[in-house]
Chain A
Amino acid sequence: MNVPSGLAGQGDVPADLRLDCDAVIVGSGAGGATMAAELAEAGLDVIVVEEGGYHPTESFTAESVRALRTLYRDGGGGMALGRPSVLFAEGRCVGGSTVVNGGMSWRTPARVLERWSAADGVQAISEREMDPYFTRAESRHSVGLQDPETIGRDSELLQAGAAAKGWAIVANRRGQLHCAGTNNCNSGCPTGAKRSMLVTSVPRALALGARLFADCRVDRVTRAGRTVTGVTGHFVRPGGRRGPGLTVRARTVIVAGGAIQTPALLARSGLRSASGQLGRNLSLHPNATVIAFFDEDVTGWHGVHQAFQVREFMAEGLVLTAQNLPPPTLAALMPAHGRELGELMADYNRIVTAGPLVTDTGTGRVRNVPGLGTQVFYQLTDADAARVVRGVELTGQALFAAGARRMLLPFDGAPEVRSPGQLRDLLARPVPKRSIQLYSIHLMGTARMSEDARRGVTDSYGAFHGVPGLFVADASLFPGPTGINPMETVIALAMRNARQLIEVAGRRPAG
């Protein structure tokens, strides 16, 4: 394996390490890696600590279970407990969730930025003020439309269905350098075309002098009085065995572990926010999947997933997309087992999987529970449940319009539906909330920004209220859901907040 200079994994560290630097960053995903590159470029001595391992592009294959084991936290099986519980996935590897997401890159909608400014008290976040950061993020990550030859039949069918209904549909924007359309985004891009942090900001930061320690779990943020002094952690040996310790002393600590791990780390470090909002306000854009069977050969694993987004219902908080699932994931979703499951899976190449992404109004909570570790709780509201059901019905309508013969719905015990009328009649009856099968890959809001320390956890630039030197740099900062793929918002905010941090540090006396 060709390991970049400046990157060390557990196998490179035989004994305890004690290091000093200007800024230590916990996490190497969209927020952490961007911060690292920005601060290193400004001349700061930066150390990044990443709990996951280093897995280069050459190691990525279509073995999805292997990817779940190596690139995801807890095998991709996170669970937000509630009725219904919501399955969620977090990346845990160098590059974080950007290694396993779809790479979709959209600016934060203007109305969301307006709400964050007006209702949540976040400064300097208007569309005009954010524009330079979005522009830079898009340039840095080659954000653009897919080359036409990479668009798969499953996406074309959703597009055809939406067009037949007269619905607005847009081509997806993605951070990609001439994506090959391998349909392997969620198991790591095997060509490196997807501009994840693994192939952009991480190598950039390393080239600019940053150091990165992989396979190293941060246990605590350390403090002297109220001021942060660094972090302590330990390397994780194969099999989960505890390895040598790591102590990093730094005047600036940036936590970028994502909306679950960031509040968990801060809480177990004894940090509290005056607002009481640390770990609260979790949004997760619940998703549900419709499994539609066509007569024609779809071969959904040929071509990039989510080439389009149906935007007709964005005002209702709904975006519809098609995303092919590999056989292991699809089989786990199927409401059947034994011979019946085998018969359904035999039609694998005639299946389109699609569904709604819902802008949620309910919120959840992240807590450290003694003996059980970090636990996530989330209660779907009645309004959001109704939105999920409507999103499922709309997805079904589009797929029937595209020629689907039958479909399976993401509701426990729901019968197979064979016509738009049957779909409409079925969903006209109440759908028990606890029967809805939901998952999430967009976790946000658990250390939200607000200039008002009684309302937020950090200020408008990610500085933790009342704890000098401590910053947050991931989707935890969002005061609410974006209603759209959040990666570009995370990157743009990290660029903006890094600039602020550099300017403030430049004004601070050395010492």
Chain B
Amino acid sequence: MHGALAPAARKALTAAILALDQGARLYPRSRGRCFTRLDDQVAEAYVRALLARRGVAAELVRRLRGLVVMCYYELPVVQREIGFDPAPYIAAVSRRRLESYGPQIRAGEAAVTARDQP
């Protein structure tokens, strides 16, 4: 997903990841540790403190958070846990569509490349 972003956004997010990780060393409860070495409670408090601020740093953290949660909630196992499993549903309604309207659908698709009547 990171690779799909605009070049400027990619650079900004890379910088944000580094800043988030190393900036944690300055957070009083971190005892000089970077973000990836913090325990869960301190890490959460650190993120909350950043998000409570205004300005560019908070905005970058917000965007980074958005990207991370998007990727997390794209995981099939996570989606199943919250009751989202669209593939069987899509297959079922697609089948229903063809069974209910097959001739009309075929006629409509054939009309796509037919020349207009003058």
Contact = CB atoms under 8 A, between A and B. Distances in A.
Interface of A: 41, 61-66, 68-69, 72-75, 77-79, 142, 147, 149-150, 177-184, 190-193, 199-200, 203-204, 207-208, 239-240, 299, 301-302, 326-332, 334, 337-338, 341, 345-346, 348-349, 372-373
B79 interface: yes
B78 interface: yes
B86 A65 contact: no
A150 B94 CA distance: 11
Given A178-B97, A181-B93, A182-B94, A41 B115 contact: yes
Contact of A327 (B6, B9, B82, B101): B82
Q: Interface majority SS on B: helix, strand, loop or mixed?
A: helix
B89 A331 contact: no
Contact of B69 (A203, A240, A341): A341
B93 A63 contact: no
Nearest to B40: A338
Given A74-B6, A74-B9, A348 B65 contact: no
A376 to B, nearest CB: 11
B39 to A, nearest CB: 13
Question: Which of B72, B78, B89 has the most CB atoms of chain A within a 10 A radius of its CB?
Answer: B89
A299 B86 CA distance: 11
A408 B1 CA distance: 27
A173 B13 CA distance: 39
Interface in B23-67: 40, 44, 47, 51, 65-67
A73 B100 CA distance: 36
A190 B90 contact: yes
Nearest to A76: B4
Contacts, number: 131
29 contacts: A41-B116, A62-B86, A68-B4, A69-B3, A69-B4, A73-B6, A78-B6, A79-B9, A142-B108, A147-B100, A149-B96, A177-B104, A177-B108, A178-B97, A178-B101, A182-B86, A182-B94, A191-B94, A199-B109, A199-B112, A200-B112, A203-B112, A301-B89, A328-B74, A331-B70, A338-B40, A345-B73, A346-B81, A348-B82
A292 to B, nearest CB: 17
Interface string B79-118: 1011110110110011011001100110011001101100
B90 A349 contact: no
B97 A332 contact: no
Contact of A372 (B8, B70, B83, B90): B8
B15 interface: no
Contacts of B105: 177-178, 193
Interface of B: 1, 3-9, 40, 44, 47, 51, 65-67, 69-74, 78-79, 81-84, 86-87, 89-90, 93-94, 96-97, 100-101, 104-105, 108-109, 112-113, 115-116
A346 B69 CA distance: 14
Contacts of B86: 62, 182-184, 301
A280 to B, nearest CB: 22
A192 B108 CA distance: 11
Contacts of B113: 203-204, 207-208
Contact of B96 (A68, A180, A326, A334): A180
Given A150-B93, A337-B69, 6 more contacts: A72-B4, A199-B109, A327-B82, A327-B84, A348-B82, A348-B83
Contact of A301 (B84, B96, B97, B115): B84
A180 B79 CA distance: 22
Contacts of A62: 86-87, 90
A409 B79 CA distance: 24
A375 B81 CA distance: 39
B110 to A, nearest CB: 11
B35 to A, nearest CB: 14
Given A69-B1, A337-B65, A373 B6 contact: yes
A293 to B, nearest CB: 13
Nearest to A181: B93
A318 B5 CA distance: 31
A31 B69 CA distance: 35
Contacts of B44: 337-338
A413 to B, nearest CB: 9
Given A41-B116, A337-B47, A77 B5 contact: yes
B97 A180 contact: yes
Given A64-B74, A150-B93, A207-B113, A75 B4 contact: yes
B94 A180 contact: yes
Contacts of A208: 113
A341 B66 CA distance: 12
A394 to B, nearest CB: 27
A328 B93 contact: no
Contacts of A341: 69
Contact of B89 (A72, A193, A302, A338): A302
Given A74-B5, A77-B5, A346 B82 contact: yes
Q: Please provide the 4 A-B residue pairs with the shortest distance between their CB atoms, ordered closest to farther.
A: A75-B4, A62-B86, A180-B97, A207-B113
A179 B108 CA distance: 12
Contacts of A72: 4
A372 B8 CA distance: 6
B18 to A, nearest CB: 19
Contacts of A331: 69-70, 72-73
Nearest to B90: A182
B74 A63 contact: yes
Given A68-B1, A178-B101, A200-B112, A327 B89 contact: no
Contacts of A75: 1, 4-5
B69 A204 contact: no
